[in-house]
């Protein structure tokens, strides 16, 4: 597999090698050792999630308190979508910037999102099935959101999708500026310290 760092540091695009024949296709969509070589520690798998979305559904931008945060390894097992990673770490040199990867059943890519980064997804097809491994269980009190339509962030969605579908909670989520003002964003310094401590603990 090939692993490429995205323009948002500490997030990566993973492209697996596929083996196709007249029976179908085989691939390794996750290799803990290959990911560990890049991020410096293994993904401490605590939970696995699946969401199924209709075309035009947007989920996000979501993030969790650090520590412990919630590292994510995300892929699509049916249909297609665009996965977005947003740097919401207050004080980061790339604060407010984002990158995206098309996830589908053609290239079968995955995305790794480190703790402290924001994550969003838009379905390009009906029944787009997003499957992801996470480093901690869901903790309602530690989970937060940012408005996915915040113009300051400026995520770009395909215009042909028309009206986007958001959950009631995501529709009223605060902007990035509001989250920065209320002090609920992860600190870049604290998150970086957490990354380094995690690497030392594992090595």
Q: Where are the alpha helices (DSSP H) in the chain?
A: 32-39, 168-171, 176-182, 188-202
Work out the pLDDT band at 203, boundaries 50, 70, 90: low
> Is 12 an annotated catalytic residue?
no
* Cβ 5 vs Cβ 165: under 8 Å: no
Query: Residues 96-120: pLDDT tens digits?
Result: 999 999 999 999 999 999 999 999 9
Q: Interior CA angle at 97 toward 136 and 183, to 5°?
A: 60
* Segment 7-26 mean pLDDT: 98
Residue of 12, 112, 132, 194 with catalytic role: 132
Per-residue pLDDT at 202 exceeds 70: no
Q: What is the mean pLDDT of the chain?
A: 96
> Is 132 an annotated catalytic residue?
yes
Residue of 12, 30, 62, 73 with catalytic role: 62
């Amino acid at each position: 597999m090939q692993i490429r760092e995205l323009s948002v540091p500490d997030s990566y695009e993973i492209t697996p090698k596929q083996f196709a024949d007249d029976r179908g296709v085989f691939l390794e969509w996750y290799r803990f050792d290959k990911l560990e070589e890049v991020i410096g520690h293994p993904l401490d798998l605590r939970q696995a999630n699946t969401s199924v979305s209709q075309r035009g559904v947007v989920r996000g931008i979501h993030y969790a308190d650090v520590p412990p945060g919630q590292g994510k390894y995300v892929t699509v097992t049916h249909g297609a979508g665009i996965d977005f990673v947003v740097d919401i770490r207050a004080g980061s040199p790339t604060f407010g910037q984002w990158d995206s990867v098309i996830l589908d059943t053609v290239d079968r890519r995955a995305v790794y999102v480190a703790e402290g980064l924001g994550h969003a997804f838009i379905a390009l097809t009906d029944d787009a099935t997003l499957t992801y491994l996470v480093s901690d269980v869901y903790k309602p009190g530690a989970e937060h959101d940012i408005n996915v339509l915040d113009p300051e962030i400026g995520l770009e969605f395909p215009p042909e999708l028309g009206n986007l579908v958001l959950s009631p909670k995501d529709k009223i989520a605060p902007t990035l500026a509001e989250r920065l003002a209320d002090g609920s964003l992860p600190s870049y310094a604290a998150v970086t310290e957490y990354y380094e401590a995690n690497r030392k603990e594992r090595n």
